[in-house]
Amino acid sequence: MIQWDKDDLDAVGLMKVDVLALGMLSAIRRMLSILGKFSPPRGLPSGRGGPWKMADIPAEDPATYDMLCHADSMGVFQVESRAQMAMLPRLQPRCYYDLVVEVALVRPGPIQGDMVHPYLKRRQKRERIEKISPAVDEVLKRTCGVPIFQEQVMQLAVVAANFTPGEADQLRRAMAAWKRKGGLEPFEQKLLAGMAANGLPESFARRIIQQIQGFGEYGFPESHAASFALLVYVSAWLKRHHPAIFLCGLLNSQPMGFYSPSMLIQDARRHGVTVLPPDVTASDWDSIIDDTGAVRLGLREISGFPQAVAERIATVDREKCPFLNIADLAARAGLHRRDLDQLAAADALQSLAGHRRQAAWAAGVEKPAAAVQGDLFAGTTIREPDADLPVPSEAENLIADYRSLGLTLRRHPLALLRQHLFERRFVTAASLKTAGHRALVRAAGIVVGRQRPGTATGIVFVTLEDESGLVNVVVHPQLVEKQRRELLGATLLGIYGQLQIEGEVVHLVAKRLVDLSAWLGRLETSSRDFH
């Protein structure tokens, strides 16, 4: 490591190597470690044990590519963003190199350089691949005649414009700095002159220069994209074939990626994964896979709960000597009142004390006598009479879950509001797929994401979640300015809009926004209060 400017390193002839840390590497390591506990890697001795390695994962699995072609990629490395999910059904990746292209294509450089649509049209055989010259065609043959990678631009400069390898490397550096410093002008003239000397069309030369300028907005080297594509495939294979382990690895690696634990859990449940709540009698700090194959949420999901306290609970031998009650738990794990209150609020004491109200009462009045009188009454318990507290309603439990965990394993909040939504003609996310292109519809959901990419010319992309899935909303700049308060302030947002459907890609273009957040605060009220 050296604290020098990279240009100074170049000046003295030192080589710079970037080492990139990725949260997904940790997540995959955790997933493969869990997988090794349940099944040995294929083709290896059954007694080998230990975690899988990435090399143990079968290559080019058709089921994995099927999943990606349907944009079923929440949580998958690099291809989980809105833009990548919109690209996957169009590109239809069917092999590893398709993933290399996918990773590199949805970047500011290719988008600004107008490479995306020509590539897709040619890949889908809706546009003929232009023949330029044998040398140029050879460089671009693996990307349908469109330069997508930095290495291709450097190769083109050599074979089409007579650059030396050293000059091509200078061009690469100028591309990376062009947006910030400029400096492409000398290369532009040399490229035009070199291609003209080789008899190449000026239109092609101008298009290459435009695409080179696009790389100033960040384009990928092919080697970088190839490394990323490996992690795309590995994480996608794990999601497809071991969704419970995939979820477990992601939850234990938070924070990372685009999606909250709540969204990842909802997605896993839609894929048939059973998810169990935190429980002091069964949970560790991290989420685990239990003997039935279900994911048992870790105590880490309880907001503000200390890791050291969770680890003390986990080290108690709960299998041979289960906790008798809350006092026994507190004594053996060394818990304080605040720890018990947090566990009760998260409904993690249910197996010891009943529903969260009963548990909260017990946490307050039942404690080890040792905490009061030293060792005099060690092993005994001071108790106050049990209180017969009413069971919380579903809505009360749901609200308490979100307050303590940031998620719920009960019904989705919108399931409780669905009748009121239907009365106002708000449809579910799942039903949008069959509503038809250009249909005028209303949809509503909890806002789980807002994005305003620099390449989107002021458009804001909003992601809503209801009990059936996600709604991808497009808000154009005029509406952004007109309804900024609703757009940025709403927790529960209603959309009046028009559908855009292209194959499996569904977007709802907003025409009007309605802030329905107050409904979440009135989940328990009668229907007349929603009017």
Whether 530 has a pLDDT exceeding 70, the answer reads no
At 183, the pLDDT band (50, 70, 90 cuts) reads low
State pLDDT tens for residues 415-427.
999 999 999 999 9
β-strand pairing of 460-466 with 492-502: unpaired
User: ∠197-203-208 over CA atoms, to 5°?
Assistant: 85
Q: Which amino acid is at 398?
A: L
What per-residue confidence (pLDDT) applies to 110?
A: 74
pLDDT digits (tens, 9 = 90+) for 31-87: 999 999 887 776 554 445 567 999 999 999 999 999 999 999 999 999 998 889 989
| Highest mean pLDDT of the ranges 60-69, 164-173, 377-386 | 60-69
pLDDT at position 335 = 92
Burial classification of residue 436, based on how many CB atoms lie within 10 Å of its CB (0-12 exposed, 13-18 middle, 19 or more buried): exposed
Question: Tens digits of per-residue pLDDT, 307-343?
Answer: 999 999 999 988 889 999 999 999 999 999 999 999 9
Q: Cis bond leading into 58, ω under 30°?
A: no
Lowest mean pLDDT among 90-94, 177-181, 336-340: 177-181
pLDDT band at 177 (very low <50, low <70, confident <90, very high): low
Higher per-residue pLDDT: 475 or 188: 475
Average model confidence (pLDDT) across the chain: 86
The tokens for 230 are 């490996």
Position 495 pLDDT exceeds 50: yes
How much of the chain exceeds pLDDT 70, in percent?
A: 89
Q: Which domains does the chain have, with CATH numbers?
A: 274-405 (1.10.150), 413-530 (2.40.50.140)
C-alpha 473/C-alpha 479 separation (Å) is 12
Mean pLDDT of the region 263-279: 95
Q: What is the pLDDT of residue 218?
A: 66
- CA 347 to chain CA mean position, Å: 27
Q: What is the pLDDT of residue 373?
A: 39
Burial of 486 from C-beta contacts in 10 A (0-12 / 13-18 / 19+): buried
Which pLDDT band holds residue 528 (cuts at 50, 70, 90)?
A: very low
179: confidence class by pLDDT, cuts 50, 70, 90: low
Q: Given this model, what pLDDT does residue 188 score? A: 82
What is the average per-residue pLDDT within 445-463? Answer: 86
Q: Is the pLDDT of residue 267 over 90?
A: yes
Would you state the pLDDT for residue 245?
97
The residue written with tokens 């690696």 in the block is 253
Banded pLDDT at 106 (limits 50, 70, 90):
confident
In the predicted structure, residue 165 carries a pLDDT above the cut 50: yes
- pTM score over 0.85: yes
CA distance 360 to 401: 14
d(CA 267, CA 85): 15
Burial class for 49, CB neighbours closer than 10 Å (0-12, 13-18, 19+):
exposed
| Among 263, 132, 282, 296, CA closest to 207 | 132
Residue 221: per-residue pLDDT = 86
At 176, the pLDDT band (50, 70, 90 cuts) reads low
Compare 458 and 493 and report the one with higher pLDDT: 493
Read off the pLDDT band of 153 (50, 70, 90): confident
Q: Which residue has the tokens 């074979």?
A: 159
Give residue-wise pLDDT tens across range 231-258.
999 999 999 999 999 999 999 999 887 8
Torsion of CA 336, 341, 347, 351, to 10 degrees: 40
Residue 186 pLDDT class (50, 70, 90 cuts): confident
Q: Which of 86-100, 185-199, 318-332, 384-398 has the lowest mean pLDDT?
A: 384-398
Which tens digits make up the pLDDT trace of 353-364?
989 999 998 887
Query: Comparing C-alpha atoms, which of 427, 420, 462 is closest to residue 444?
Result: 427
Q: What percent of the chain has pLDDT over 90?
A: 55
Count of residues making up the chain: 531
More confident site: 25 or 363:
25
pLDDT at 504 over 60: yes
CA distance 431 to 441: 10
DSSP structure string for 463-501:
EEEETTEEEEEEE-HHHHHHTHHHHHH-SEEEEEEEEEE
- Distance between CA atoms of residues 473 and 510, nearest Å: 7
pLDDT at 66: 97
Of residues 180 and 267, more confidence is placed in 267
**Does residue 485 have a pLDDT over 60?**
yes
Q: How far is CA 327 from the centre of its chain?
A: 40
pLDDT at 368 exceeding the cut of 50: no
Report the interhelical angle of 243-251 vs 222-241 (nearest 10°).
Answer: 120
pLDDT of residue 374: 39
Residue 457 has pLDDT above 60, yes or no: yes
Closest CA to 361 of 379, 377, 383: 383
Dihedral (CA of 251, 257, 260, 262) sign:
negative
Average pLDDT over residues 271-279: 96
Contact in structure between 294 and 272 (CB atoms under 8 Å): no
Contacts of 122 (CB under 8 A, 6+ apart): 128, 129, 144, 145, 146
* pLDDT for res 488: 93
Q: Distance of CA 104 to CAs 43, 110, 218, 220, Å?
A: 33, 8, 10, 6
Q: CB neighbours of 71 closer than 8 A, spacing ≥ 6?
A: 85, 86, 88, 89, 504, 505
